[in-house]
Chains A and B, each alone.
Chain A
Amino acid sequence: MAGGADGHGAAVRLLIDHRTVYRYEGPASAIVQVLRLTPRPGDSQAILRWRVDVEADGAIKPFTDAHGNLAHMFYADAPLAELAIHVEGEVLTTDRAGIVGAGEELVPLGVYLRSTPLTTPDAALAAFARTIQHESPLSQAHMLMESIHRRMAFDPDVTHPATDAATAFRLGRGVCQDLSQVMVTAARLLGIPARYVSGHYAAPDHPEQEAAHAWAELHLPGLGWVAFDPTHGICAGEGHVRVAVGLDSLDAAPVRGTRRGGGAERLSVQVHGRAAPAAPPADGAEPDLFAGQEQQEQRQ
């Protein structure tokens, strides 16, 4: 809990190994992608090692996007039938009760009150948001997270990447993207600046969980940005690796791309998120705690 008595836990070493493969029906040409796959170091995370591999020939140009995310442009040299992106790294995380800490803020706070097509409330979502009232914005934020966590069931089969917050809220179910976008939308309605976070999650006690994850950050008086994970109903802790932020899931998307042709796209994600002991094994070998499961059509 943000500001809670249990405060800051011990550092945890997280190993992230994430391979996304796009397979096209036929060769896709003119592939251009924005990759937001590189975490910034911060108070709650030290990046020990990080590597992004695009397994195809092309030009890769690094840049910093509007929100300060470390991003890369990828321009494929030739048409491709398959494109694999491999992210692998090691992060030392600390539970700071969701408090993100001071970083360089490029975007004025007022911008994070703005709605986008994916975070435009309808009457039902607006009415729901208005029921969440508390004189303390921190308590209000917790109430909002817990309420969304209770009301919306995790269900990977009902929404898709372009589902907006209002639709997901109406369905009452969705994946972490949907719950986080609902939270961001509702918070803005309450006058709390809010943004969407994409990253990784590896729970020490549930190591088999999907590593690609999303949550929300709300800007609270006196605390700055605080990370709330409505999917798990907790503030971000030592299991969360924060990678990119944005106004919505499109803005913070780990991979946003365009292509010509190629027909339908099948996406598979191999995940090897895991928690490791804070100290590496003496022989330096990494115990392979779990093999990567291939999950067809998996969502982030």
Chain B
Amino acid sequence: MGAAFDEMFGHGGYPERVDPQAVRPAYAQVAAWLAASSQELLETRRRQAELFFRRIGITFAVYGDPDADERLIPFDIIPRIISAEEWAVVEEGLKQRVAALNAFCADVYGAREILRAGVLPEDLVFANPQFCLHQLGFRPAGGVWVHIAGIDLVRTGPGEFLVLEDNARTPSGVSYMLENREVMLRLVPELITGETDEGGVRPVETYPEQLYATLRSVAPPGCRGEPTVALLTPGLHNSAYYEHSFLADKMGVELVEGSDLFVHDDVLYMRTTAGPARVDVLYRRVDDAFLDPLVFRPDSLLGIPGLVRACHAGNLTLANAIGTGIADDKAIYSYMPEIVRFYTGRDPILPNVPTWRCREPEALAEVLDRLPELVVKEVDGSGGYGMLVGPHATAAEVEAFRAKLRADPAKFIAQPTLALSTCPTLTDAGIAPRHVDLRPFILTGAHGVTVIPGGLTRVAMREGSLVVNSSQGGGTKDTWVLGPGTDARASS
């Protein structure tokens, strides 16, 4: 693998000292700040940031870690910056991608034109556990299936953003995007407060308002008057509980658990001190399988009996809709370029990462042959669990994975190990390159699509590591999308 593209230095390599004249234009101002700050000062800033986070109480529980409840995700104070020109392309690409995800859901649960056209094999959909037969023929309010999407992007060159993964079920991480910005505003307000039409950093703080407006726009047909919105969490022990309470608080809606809700006469109610209150739109952060014990897992204690009926009877909108997992399934992912073309009639603006489908014998043979250089993922895995990063694995790990692959090839996809872009990151040894990805958030309501200018930049804190997942020791950065006028400012 050659040297990765760097967000600040391009292909120029890391200098001894940051020279503000020798960085990519979007980074000019931050480079000047870094050049003027000693390592001690930056360390102080980092400690201040950590203090802010501790005060806010933002943590992320990691499954299998006994001290999970108290862990803080590492935060790096050097922002990741995207110019207005770069973002314009990314934004268009994201809108196109999410439009295709929504169209795909509507189609596979409706007319199934894409299957009749032979764009992808039927059994990949029908035999897929994510394909929810209870949603066949269902038409959600406003025609929207994926209200909240998080699309994971990686970058391999100046204009090369690729989609690594779609998240169309219950994507998380947006609270970090918001908190990271809040902390940066306290740490380095002078770098952020410029006018956005003069190349300043575009705000992300309006996300909760936009989310609330999106949810209200998809009130079900049975809703009378102003819709009541609530946020359903699996509870305190869920890894993203903090985010659930944070978003409910920011939107000013009730944070509820399954036991706070009940369905009567095909209508969803929440228990309140003033008696049962009708709920029209439920932003649920609970997986499909646990939503309704009368339809899905009968042993689910988190679910609400009758919830699916309330939706189908037109009395409730779930965001995201049930069954969207068919669209972001990793086995379906490899067909996304064709899916985008089928529904939008245009080539994808954001390409996929090349992907081998191990269910296909020729692909499997090639993957087994090149295993030590590839990344292999489970089609229904998430969070970086159960994956192999060939170049970073021991020979024994590679062989163990080879056996798993041979035993059940259809469970896996493989991708080349990409040279993910790096971003300058504060380490104990000074400013050093660390690999990053980006999860922008896209809202789709009855009235259109909104791409939040920014997102969550995840950074692999270990030198050379390509795994950015917070569950695997990844950290985060604030993500700055600059307003138009970036270049003017950079050259001034």
User: Nearest chain A CB to B284's CB is how many angstroms away?
Assistant: 18
Would you call B133 an interface residue if the criterion is a C-beta within 8 Å of the partner chain's C-beta atoms?
yes
Would you call A107 an interface residue if the criterion is a C-beta within 8 Å of the partner chain's C-beta atoms?
yes
- Interchain CB contact (< 8 A) of A75 among B131, B137, B306: B306
Would you call A190 an interface residue if the criterion is a C-beta within 8 Å of the partner chain's C-beta atoms?
no
A-B contact count (CB 8 A): 61
Bound: A59/B294 CA distance, A: 16
Would you call B249 an interface residue if the criterion is a C-beta within 8 Å of the partner chain's C-beta atoms?
no
Would you call B27 an interface residue if the criterion is a C-beta within 8 Å of the partner chain's C-beta atoms?
no
- Interchain CB contact (< 8 A) of A32 among B131, B133, B305, B313: B305
Contact A34-B294, Cβ < 8 Å, known A111-B131, A114-B126: yes
Contact A59-B265, Cβ < 8 Å, known A32-B306, A111-B126: yes
Q: Which one, A145-153, A250-258, A287-295, is touching chain B? A: A250-258
Contact A63-B263, Cβ < 8 Å, known A32-B305, A108-B126, A114-B127: no
Contact A75-B264, Cβ < 8 Å, known A63-B309, A258-B293: yes
Size bin of chain B's contact surface = 20 to 34
Across the interface, do A250 and B312 meet the contact criterion of CB distance under 8 Å?
A: no
Output the nearest chain A residue to B298 by Cβ-Cβ distance.
Answer: A250
Chain A residues with CB below 8 A from B313, complex form: 61, 63
Chain A residues with CB below 8 A from B263, complex form: 32, 75
Would you call B129 an interface residue if the criterion is a C-beta within 8 Å of the partner chain's C-beta atoms?
yes
Would you call B250 an interface residue if the criterion is a C-beta within 8 Å of the partner chain's C-beta atoms?
no
A residues contacting B by CB (< 8 A) are 30, 32-34, 59, 61, 63, 65-67, 73, 75, 106-111, 113-114, 250, 256-258
Chain B residues with CB below 8 A from A61, complex form: 265-266, 309, 313
User: Nearest chain B CB to A184's CB is how many angstroms away?
Assistant: 15
Across the interface, do A110 and B122 meet the contact criterion of CB distance under 8 Å?
A: yes
Output the nearest chain B residue to A77 by Cβ-Cβ distance.
Answer: B264
Bound: A113/B126 CA distance, A: 8
- Interface positions, chain B 244-267, Cβ under 8 Å from A, are 262-266
Bound: A172/B129 CA distance, A: 29
- 4 further A-B pairs in the complex, CB-CB below 8 A; given A30-B305, A75-B265, A108-B122: A32-B263, A107-B133, A114-B127, A258-B305
Output the nearest chain A residue to B293 by Cβ-Cβ distance.
Answer: A258
Can you list 13 A-B contacts (CB < 8 A)? Answer: A32-B294, A32-B306, A59-B266, A66-B136, A67-B133, A75-B306, A108-B126, A110-B126, A110-B127, A114-B126, A114-B129, A250-B298, A256-B298
Chain A residues with CB below 8 A from B298, complex form: 250, 256
Contact A59-B136, Cβ < 8 Å, known A108-B112, A110-B127: no
Bound: A73/B129 CA distance, A: 25
Bound: A299/B92 CA distance, A: 58
Across the interface, do A106 and B136 meet the contact criterion of CB distance under 8 Å?
A: yes
Would you call B47 an interface residue if the criterion is a C-beta within 8 Å of the partner chain's C-beta atoms?
no
Chain A residues with CB below 8 A from B136, complex form: 66, 106-107
